Amino acid sequence: MEALIPVINKLQDVFNTVGADIIQLPQIAVVGTQSSGKSSVLESLVGRDLLPRGTGIVTRRPLILQLVHVDPGDARKIEDGARDGEEWGKFLHTKNKIYTDFDEIRQEIENETERVSGNNKGISDEPIHLKIFSPNVVNLTLVDLPGITKVPVGDQPKDIEIQIRDLILKHISNPNCIILAVTAANTDMATSEALKVAREVDPDGRRTLAVVTKLDLMDAGTDAMDVLMGRVIPVKLGLIGVVNRSQLDINNKKSVVDAIRDEHAFLQKKYPSLANRNGTKYLARTLNRLLMHHIRDCLPELKTRINVLAAQYQSLLSSYGEPVEDQSATLLQLITKFATEYCNTIEGTAKYIETAELCGGARICYIFHETFGRTLESVDPLGGLSTIDILTAIRNATGPRPSLFVPEVSFELLVKKQVKRLEEPSLRCVELVHEEMQRIIQHCSNYSTQELQRFPKLHEAIVEVVTSLLRKRLPITNEMVHNLVAIELAYINTKHPDFADACGVMNNNIEEHRRNRMRELPTAVPRDKASAAGLQGEQDGTGNWRGMLKKGEEAPGSGPGSPLKGVVNLLDVPVPVARKLSSREQRDCEVIERLIKSYFLIVRKNIQDSVPKAVMHFLVNHVKDSLQSELVGQLYKSGLLNDLLTESEDMAQRRKEAADMLQALQRASQVIAEIRETHLW
């Protein structure tokens, strides 16, 4: 099972080649506050001084440190250019360059950190990948994270605490990550920031290992026995104490090997009963064992994740398509597919059905029967007509002679005015359908024919052709709808069956009303005199223009002192004013209103039926039937092939990235398959 860690390192190398972080591989993340001894712990595990040191934030980018154990006579060292017995390192960003001087490795870490993060003590989440080959290390993958801080110092950003916290949580939230929480022994374990942040993502402590540093710096008379025994803060993966090199030791160039020897002597003297379960060497073996078991547990899910991603990238690569060989066939295929999908979207048989909102033919149906239908029904047959308007129209239609009956001219004049109001919503219906036909273009481009994204110029040309076709059909359709209303206005058919029935019922009601009025007259009054008296009263009230004047008003030009007093000015036009109508006026107005309403409803029904039919014939169906031929006629030309089938600038790059990622995932799948064959899993 020891070989599992090199397998994970191999997987890491596979994904590093494509610069991808889509697979969360098992690893160990080192978390701790500044100056808690994180760097010393890592250097003890490596056995060499290789990490930058200083005050404030030194680790400002995640350092993914892969430790690879090699035998002294391993031939791979010769292949990599190193001599037998040497330790060496390799950075991902420097490709195949080999570093045998660990001071040079430290300097390269500092340079690479400043290159990305700058000199202002800011941090970056872009990791540095470093691989160390040595016969003195165990196979491990460690991630050194910036130290937790609370107060910005010097040039540090004001939100440095939040930045570091987010960066740490990003790494330790990975369920395949073991958390190495580093805490100094000379601080209170109950206030450990490392354990606190680890508990946020791992409340049960199933993947947290605590490391207590600086055991030799505790106050005199105190020890860490209770802490090391797990009595203060219990951690399921265990708690290991280590002794770091002091700053004086580092300044004096004390080697890590000597520090580990002195650490062992200190543990034997201070904690003899716990010496074999603490120290740097025990920590390295424990981390190696935990990582191996953790990798074994994570491999089934990892295999599933790799297979799913491989299928997704295969589909993505297919959507990008292969390089064009036969331009004519490709262009004709894309035009035909777009035209087919456009028509299918209208018919409701498209492959990609919109679920968030109505689209295509469904929206057109909604416009016809909901939007347009309800708008017409909301139009009041008598809207905009007052009683005075109707009465004025009746009088104007009679000319100089008083009429015995309601003149038909007044009805025709008024009903045309009302029917004309149906034209605006009808034209608006055409506009809405035209807008939806325009939206279908974008729908087909986004969902149905993704291949068009490869060829932006072809996409633009198709959009222009379809838009132009719709634009040409719009005035034709508007003209037809306008004519539908004009047809209704051209001839008011009072012999329409529905209208004749309504007139018959209305005449019966009027006759019945007249008979009832006659019955109510006193029997002593002759019918003819009663009628004459009624007519005389009406003439006094409305027949004479003076009846239009308010009480106490004088006729124009007849006031006191006027030379024309008592003379009627025949050029004056009476202005209607609010007053009580006579019974005959009321009856005439009611007759006209009922006739207008009856005929208006007939016309509205006709318009509500004929406008959608006209829109479908002159706009929707015409575009459907002629779209294919229009696209072919405008675009299928030899002189346009090269220009239309020019791929977007980033398409080739995206195709290459998808192909590289797919290849990496396939290699990773092969690596996992090898694990099964060798019975490591």
3-state DSSP of 514-532: HHHHHHHCCCCCCHHHHHH
Q: Out of 95-109, 178-192, 452-466, 555-569, which region has the weakest mean confidence (pLDDT)? A: 555-569
Given pLDDT bands bounded at 50, 70 and 90, which one contains residue 588? Answer: confident
Given pLDDT bands bounded at 50, 70 and 90, which one contains residue 479? Answer: very high
User: 3-state class of 321 per DSSP?
Assistant: coil
Mean pLDDT of 13-19: 60
Mean pLDDT of 520-533: 46
> What residues contact 125, with CB distance under 8 A and at least 6 apart?
61, 62, 167, 170
pLDDT of residue 424: 93
β-strands 63-69, 128-134: how paired? parallel
pLDDT of residue 78: 44
Mean pLDDT of 546-563: 44
Q: Where are the alpha helices (DSSP H) in 203-253?
A: 225-228, 247-251
Length of the chain: 681
User: Does residue 294 surpass a pLDDT of 70?
Assistant: yes
Mean pLDDT of 154-160: 76
What is the DSSP secondary structure assignment for residue 127, as one 8-state letter? P
pLDDT of residue 556: 45
User: Does residue 365 surpass a pLDDT of 90?
Assistant: yes
User: 3-state class of 360 per DSSP?
Assistant: coil
Given pLDDT bands bounded at 50, 70 and 90, which one contains residue 474? Answer: very high
438 contacts 342 by C-beta, under 8 angstroms: no
User: 3-state class of 93 per DSSP?
Assistant: coil
What is the DSSP secondary structure assignment for residue 64, as one 8-state letter? E
User: Does residue 217 surpass a pLDDT of 50?
Assistant: yes
- Identify which of 4-13, 355-364, 646-655 has the greatest average pLDDT: 355-364
Dihedral sign computed on CA atoms, order 415, 417, 420, 425: negative
pLDDT of residue 484: 94
Please give the mean pLDDT across all residues of the chain: 78
pLDDT of residue 55: 63
Looking at per-residue pLDDT, the higher value among 587 and 520 belongs to 587
> What residues contact 420, with CB distance under 8 A and at least 6 apart?
485, 489
Which residue do the tokens 């031939």 mark?
75
Given pLDDT bands bounded at 50, 70 and 90, which one contains residue 613? Answer: very high
Mean pLDDT of 330-343: 88
Q: Out of 298-307, 388-397, 633-642, which region has the weakest mean confidence (pLDDT)? A: 388-397
Mean pLDDT of 617-630: 93
pLDDT of residue 501: 64
553 contacts 577 by C-beta, under 8 angstroms: no
- Amino acid identity of residue 322, one-letter, is E
pLDDT of residue 530: 42
pLDDT of residue 513: 57
Given pLDDT bands bounded at 50, 70 and 90, which one contains residue 545? Answer: very low
Task: Tell me how far apart the alpha carbons of residues 369 and 512 are, in angstroms, rounded to a whole number.
Answer: 40
Query: What CA dihedral angle connects 498, 500, 504 and 510, to 10 degrees?
Result: 100
pLDDT of residue 526: 47
Task: Tell me how far apart the alpha carbons of residues 425 and 603 are, in angstroms, rounded to a whole number.
Answer: 14
25 contacts 12 by C-beta, under 8 angstroms: yes
Mean pLDDT of 448-466: 80
Task: Tell me how far apart the alpha carbons of residues 345 and 329 are, in angstroms, rounded to a whole number.
Answer: 24
Given pLDDT bands bounded at 50, 70 and 90, which one contains residue 60? Answer: confident
User: Does residue 291 surpass a pLDDT of 60?
Assistant: yes
Q: Which helix (H) or strand (E) holds 74?
A: none
Q: How far, CA to CA in Å, does 653 sit from each of 18, 277, 665?
A: 13, 53, 18
Token pair of 481, please? 């709808």
Tell me the whole-structure pTM to 2 decimals: 0.55
Per DSSP, which regions of 248-403 are E strands?
Answer: none
User: Does residue 680 surpass a pLDDT of 70?
Assistant: no
User: Does residue 270 surpass a pLDDT of 50?
Assistant: yes
User: Does residue 152 surpass a pLDDT of 70?
Assistant: yes
112 contacts 128 by C-beta, under 8 angstroms: yes
44 contacts 261 by C-beta, under 8 angstroms: no
Task: Tell me how far apart the alpha carbons of residues 181 and 172 are, in angstroms, rounded to a whole number.
Answer: 11
